[in-house]
Amino acid sequence: MQKAIVTAIRFLPDRATDPLLRSDREIGRPIARVDSVLKVRGRARFAAEVPLHDLSYAAFVHGTIARGRIDTIDTAQAEAAPGVLLVMTYKNAPRMPAPPMMMEDAKGASASKLPVMQDATIRWNGEPVAVVVAQTQEEADAAAGLVHVTYLQEPAATSLDLQRQKAHPPKTILGESPRIEIGRAERALARAVHAVDETYRTPRHNHAAIELHAATVSWQDDTLTVHDATQMVNLTRSSLAAVFRIPEAKVHVLSPFVGGGFGNKGLWSHQILAAAASRMLGRPVRIVLSREGVFRITGGRTLTEQRVALGATEDGTLEGLIHTGIAGMTTHNNCPEQFTFPARHLYAAKNLLLAQEVVDLDMVANTFMRAPGESVGTFALESAVDELAVAMNLDPVELRRRFEPRKDPTSGRAFSSRNLVEAYRRGAERFGWGRRNPVPRSQHQGEWLVGYGVATATYPYYRVPGGAASIRLTQDGRAIVRMASHEMGMGTATVQSQHAAERLGLPVEAVTFEYGDSDFPSGTLAGGSSQTVSIIAAVTAAAEMLTGELLKLAGNDSPLAGLKPAEVEGWNQGIRQRDKPENFESHGSILRRAQREDGSVEAAAPMPLKAQKYSMHSYGAQFCEAWVSKQTGEVRVKRWLGSFDTGRIINPRTAASQFRGGIIMGLGLALMEETLFDERTGRIMSRSLADYHVPVHLDVPEIDVLWTDVPDPHSPMGVHGIGEIGITGVGAAVANAVYNATGKRIRDLPITLDKLL
């Protein structure tokens, strides 16, 4: 790699407009996932499936108090149990500094900055107090039940309600101010002709990915290898290096397949404890959390209580918008659940008050969960907009059109690309919104009341700096593209093969995208719907560098002689001049003439400076038809349409699947998901998918999705992230449809039948 060139590229601003913004040879094709055959045949190997010689198995003993100290811990019986190799507690665990925390430390993958198993202190109900390692998983699980612990309990803060007077603003919300005030919103509200002012509540949620959290770890001398299920191989490597006080080069994290992440497949105590136990034991260790373990030691989405107040004039000018509230958090993490983010960018309010506070609780560190903030924030905001439309006797789509801002209402920046009104227009037409009767209880189907609801979906555009990619182009016309990125089921390898093929002028079959390995050029995390565009930016930089190298190699005998990278493009397994396409030479020909087997480059993505100049977001309109039983109060979502405006779509097939997956998760949020938390003990009571309900096939109707496909000129390849926007707006669209069906306004998620009877 040429270090000097890499540095130079890194600090160039984003180029004005990607020349391939509308190029559509491979981009836009609905190709099947490149790993589909592997997955269907069961040959995709996940973290808990890596075979290792001499493997041992770990199980955790969980603390049962929310706050206090371990008084006594008796491991004798467990140590004597069949197959047991090691029982680790704070007494014999190696000394380890606290893991670096995500969003606070540039090397952090941990959701919490608590030290792991270093002393007798207990900070949440469920914290691991012992690790039992045995020859088999069954022996480890059985022996874990033989560790006897007594506690000295201290009073714990486990109720948001009881602690609300201690609410305080967090230092920042993902780097933004927790409070934005423009004008005088309370006064505007008091003077408004039409106003609503309501409180909305959302419960705790847990990530329930099909794949349980798992790691298979081993040490070779002082080198640690971790087969992990993670959304962040690089940060996991740097965090484990810090915890075990070894150089990063001595930690190797592999994560080729992840069975769903949704925000909490980062670094938690289980990888650290497994690695510590493995080092003590001198044997490889596997840890697979039980579903109960996932719920108790990896954090979920926290609970919120939100006030939304809107005041409008007769003609639908939004005079005042207030969105405030509280969320439960801990003193040892930094995820305040950014529920006021949508209101910062959606509506042309003259006066705005957006402020959120947190309440410190003794619980496992809550964390990011698919559209953290936006998913529950849009429930409150978009329910309130619907309530205002009812109060004004105005169609909610029309009201939102009147609220549409010309520039970002809080930053004052221009929108990079915003076609929300168009998304609404198309969605309403295809859904048949015009057939809706605004009068509640006016549509019936036998015992069912029928209602239509609509809500806005929105999620920010993030491109994470720091990613780099390598490309090796061989004489036979194949390219291997590498970046330490992640495949959690969303189609990363597929769309990145398409992108690299488009960029390099290759057929998609000639490209292999390799990822999921911390030894590859540094990837960015798979989070914040940022990964696709972050990879594209790095691969684009690498492709540009490769083109430069190839042009140099081509020399004076080539039809490309004297051309610069900006004057050419990849075409038909070679390079051609943009405005004189007859000037062409194939990659193979260039390499052969230069007597080179291949061309290899590595380059870093330029800094995402455009995101500081423009208000960059994705948008959508969610349309719901819900049926509510007059007898039982059951809600059945009968029809769904999501109409999105998310920049350019690379692969309609994987994109539709992402949108649908988000919407389905939103149906869970709307109708069933709720982590049951015992406020007396601080213990999460939900133990399995039998009592933490997620939508099953029968809960999910046919989901129609469409998109504007308008490229954002300020984003590489014109794309936006799409992993999270699908879930946003869904809670409100369901609640609004339920209101239209029944005349009952449910402001407390989930919308269960008891609330409708």
* Helices 531-554, 3-10: crossing angle, 10 deg rounding: 130
Strands 223-228 and 251-254 turn out to be parallel
> Please, are residues 649 and 180 in contact by the beta-carbon 8 Å criterion?
no
| The two three-digit tokens of residue 442, written as one number | 């006016």
Least distance from C-beta 515 to ligand MOS, angstroms? 16
* Helices 269-281, 233-244: crossing angle, 10 deg rounding: 50
**Contact status: 263 vs ligand MOS (CB under 6 A):** yes
Least distance from C-beta 261 to ligand MOS, angstroms? 5
Q: Which is nearer to ligand MOS, 231 or 658 (CB)?
A: 231
The C-alpha atoms of residue 667 and residue 203 are separated, in whole angstroms, by 14
Least distance from C-beta 209 to ligand MOS, angstroms? 10
Q: Which is nearer to ligand MOS, 300 or 599 (CB)?
A: 300
> Please, are residues 292 and 125 in contact by the beta-carbon 8 Å criterion?
no
> Please, are residues 305 and 199 in contact by the beta-carbon 8 Å criterion?
yes
Least distance from C-beta 258 to ligand MOS, angstroms? 10
x/- map, 67-106, ligand MOS, by CB under 6 A: ----------------------------------------
Q: Which is nearer to ligand MOS, 370 or 426 (CB)?
A: 370
User: Which residues, in sequence order, are CB contacts of 341 under 8 Å at separation 6+?
Assistant: 173, 176, 373, 374, 377, 460
> Please, are residues 493 and 515 in contact by the beta-carbon 8 Å criterion?
yes
List the catalytic residues: 724
Q: Which is nearer to ligand MOS, 486 or 747 (CB)?
A: 486
Q: Which residues, 151 to 190, sit near ligand MOS by CB under 6 A?
A: none
**Contact status: 527 vs ligand MOS (CB under 6 A):** yes
Q: Which residues, 318 to 377, sit near ligand MOS by CB under 6 A?
A: 368-370, 372
Least distance from C-beta 376 to ligand MOS, angstroms? 12
The C-alpha atoms of residue 460 and residue 374 are separated, in whole angstroms, by 9
DSSP 8-state class, residue 726 = G
Q: Which is nearer to ligand MOS, 371 or 667 (CB)?
A: 371
Least distance from C-beta 500 to ligand MOS, angstroms? 24
User: Which residues, in sequence order, are CB contacts of 451 under 8 Å at separation 6+?
Assistant: 440, 443, 625, 626, 627, 628, 736, 737, 738, 739, 740, 741, 742
Q: Which is nearer to ligand MOS, 204 or 576 (CB)?
A: 204
| The two three-digit tokens of residue 30, written as one number | 């609905």
The C-alpha atoms of residue 379 and residue 359 are separated, in whole angstroms, by 21
Q: Which is nearer to ligand MOS, 101 or 310 (CB)?
A: 101
Q: Which residue is nearest to ligand MOS (CB)?
A: 263
x/- map, 213-242, ligand MOS, by CB under 6 A: ------------------x-----------
Question: Cα(first)–Cα(last) distance of the chain, in Å?
Answer: 67
Q: Is 291 helix (H, G, I), strand (E, B) or coil?
A: helix
Q: Which is nearer to ligand MOS, 531 or 742 (CB)?
A: 531
Name which of 581, 604, 597, 601 is nearest 505 in CA terms: 581
Task: Determine the interface stretch with ligand MOS among 234-242, 255-263, 434-442, 599-607 (rule: CB under 6 A).
Answer: 255-263
**Contact status: 627 vs ligand MOS (CB under 6 A):** no
Number of residues that bind ligand MOS (CB under 6 A): 10
Among 219, 262, 424, 659, interactor with ligand MOS by CB under 6 A: 262
Q: Which residues, 372 to 401, sit near ligand MOS by CB under 6 A?
A: 372
The tokens 């606070």 sit on which residue? 104
Task: Determine the interface stretch with ligand MOS among 256-264, 463-471, 546-554, 624-632 (rule: CB under 6 A).
Answer: 256-264
Q: Is the peptide bond before 750 cis (omega within 30 degrees of 0)?
A: yes
The C-alpha atoms of residue 280 and residue 273 are separated, in whole angstroms, by 11
The C-alpha atoms of residue 348 and residue 317 are separated, in whole angstroms, by 8
Among 99, 108, 256, 261, interactor with ligand MOS by CB under 6 A: 261
**Contact status: 266 vs ligand MOS (CB under 6 A):** no
Least distance from C-beta 235 to ligand MOS, angstroms? 13
Least distance from C-beta 460 to ligand MOS, angstroms? 11
Task: Determine the interface stretch with ligand MOS among 261-269, 355-363, 442-450, 513-521 (rule: CB under 6 A).
Answer: 261-269
| The two three-digit tokens of residue 688, written as one number | 């399995």
**Interface residues with ligand MOS (CB under 6 A)?**
231, 261-263, 368-370, 372, 527-528
